[in-house]
Amino acid sequence: MSEHKGQGHLQSGAEILVQCLINHGVDVIFAYPGGASMPLHQALTRVSDKLRTILPRHEQGGAFAAEGYARTTGKVGVCMSTSGPGATNFVTSLADAKMDSCPIMCITGQVSTPVIGTDAFQETPIVEVCRAVTKHHYLILRTEDITRVMKEAFYIATSGRPGPIIVDVPKDVQMRKIVADYDPPMNLGGYAPDRRATREELEKLLEMLRASKKPIIYAGGGIISSNAAQHLKAFAEKTGIPVAMTLLGLGGFPAEHFLSLDMLGMHGTVYSNYAINEADLLLAFGVRFDDRVTGKVSEFAKHGKIVHLDIDPSELNKIKKADLPIHGDICLALQDLVRMIDARPKGSPSLTAGHQEWIKQVEHWRATEPLRCEAREDAIIPQMAIKRMWELLKERNMLDDTIVTTGVGQHQMFAAQFFKFNSPRTWITSGGLGSMGFGLPSAMGAQAANPLKTVIDIDGDGSFLMNVQELATCFTEKLPVKVLLLNNQHLGMVVQWEDRFFESNRGHTYLGAGFDQPPYPDFVTIAKGFRVGTRRITDPKDLDEALIEMIESKGPYLLDVMTPHQEHVLPMIPSGMTVKDIIKV
């Protein structure tokens, strides 16, 4: 923490709150002002030059940017708004962060305490609105409570299973002056977020592993949240167990590693889903058995035993009963498991004995059921655009310094399939909530947190348009975000479901202005209006050159790639069904 400036002197509540942010290591805040938060913004201009304030063009954009900051750093992402509509514009982002275990803090101005509950101008009971979509929530009614609340809020957001916090601050609480105590005691009776798995529990896991012939690791976002990626890699290599990842687990294990089975679930690889289905031991690490992974729960991984290890005890046995549920920090557990394996006496039974046939079977599935991506001469298919971008970045040795964000839809699944993530915190996407409009603002936050890295938003035209205004933030704040816009003029994922399950009847999924009209909206003209570099391509021959131009651009850049709307994300296990129902073509 930095030194506590202002200690012993009268300060306003707003100045105290801003100083708390600085003391807790916050260096960027995404904040949109209004009547109930003006004292906070005035304090932001006065308290310190160590805290950068970025003005988004919509509160939701600011909160998604805070998520991009948090997901790429592991630190708390902070955003701020005024009361009423400013605060309610945070609701989607809070729900998104709650679903994906992302530590953000949304600070909202509130009407003054004497008029709370009277339907005053721009009043909403935002704590009540957000109670179910936050990890914790505060309405501060006394200026003296600000330092304690902020201390607790940062601790709760980052400890145990990370999550979002909302802190609602009435205007009179912001304006009142007191002498602050910057090191107050916390009042968190009953909150015990950290637990280390016991040696006895981990010994049982290793016993089950020794008895297994076909083990598999099912790794989720908890691997990344707990900074356990290197320990997962060590454990997998020492045991020779293949690793399948959830959407949010991508990057938690190197995609190009010989033990990687890439993503599992609805749009996961055939080989990962086959392996999960046939495994006799499922090691579920930092996962929640989401329906997009399990499909029909009773049929998921029913041939084997399940070990479920998670920091959140409420997830254990919630969806799928585990033979060995373990409540604990996955990072510490993997470190302990690796030490226990290394400390085994000479002559102990090998943990990899008997796995050879299983590995051969997995290799066979991987060789015979790869992801399909065949270039066309008459059109740029979205899969090829993503694959070529990954290859070009790899050729330039840029992958380690590249962060990819996405919106939600087909482009998101294509990115998960064809961009290979070898490092954690380089893949930023909305998983559990599936929030369209997430891609551009989260890229903005990721870029603010990582100014020397290349940040690319892979987006679709429907999702991108929901927060297109943040191009203005990218330009004015000099955040050189790149946007690879896969533009098929449709809500592609819904179109895919219409094609597969509704006889291609279009239920308001066309976004253009007419099939005989030019692309609509004209994203190139829009980008130029924001003074952002831009280009549109339709010919596959132009793809490589345009991608290089985008990658090498010095400022923000939008590459509008026209793609056919008939492409489907495959393979696909229909919702609520099983691996036996997998659609490959």
How is the beta sheet containing 165-170 ordered, strand by strand? 52-54, 28-31, 77-81, 104-110, 165-170, 136-139
Other beta carbons less than 10 A from residue 365's beta carbon: 18
Catalytic center residues:
59, 121-122, 171, 493
How is the beta sheet containing 260-263 ordered, strand by strand? 260-263, 243-245, 215-219, 281-285, 305-310, 324-327
CB 72 within 8 A of CB 425: yes
Hey, is 359 helix, strand or coil?
A: helix
User: Which DSSP symbol is given to 353?
Assistant: T
Q: In the structure encoding, which two tokens stand for residue 449, read together?
A: 């947190």
Among 11, 15, 35, residue whose Cα is nearest residue 110: 35
CB 534 within 8 A of CB 524: yes
CB 443 within 8 A of CB 457: yes
The string of DSSP codes covering 155-182 is HHHHSSS---EEEEEEHHHHH-EEE--S
193 exposed, middle or buried (CB, 10 Å; 0-12, 13-18, 19+)?
Answer: middle
288 exposed, middle or buried (CB, 10 Å; 0-12, 13-18, 19+)?
Answer: buried
219 — alpha (psi -120 to 50), left (phi > 0) or beta?
A: beta
Nearest-5° Cα angle at 530, 528 to 534: 40
Q: Which residue bears the tokens 């006895």?
A: 200
**How far, CA to CA in Å, does 318 sit from each of 202, 289, 310, 312?**
21, 9, 12, 11
Contacts of residue 507, defined as CB under 8 A and 6 or more positions apart, other chains included, come to 494, 498
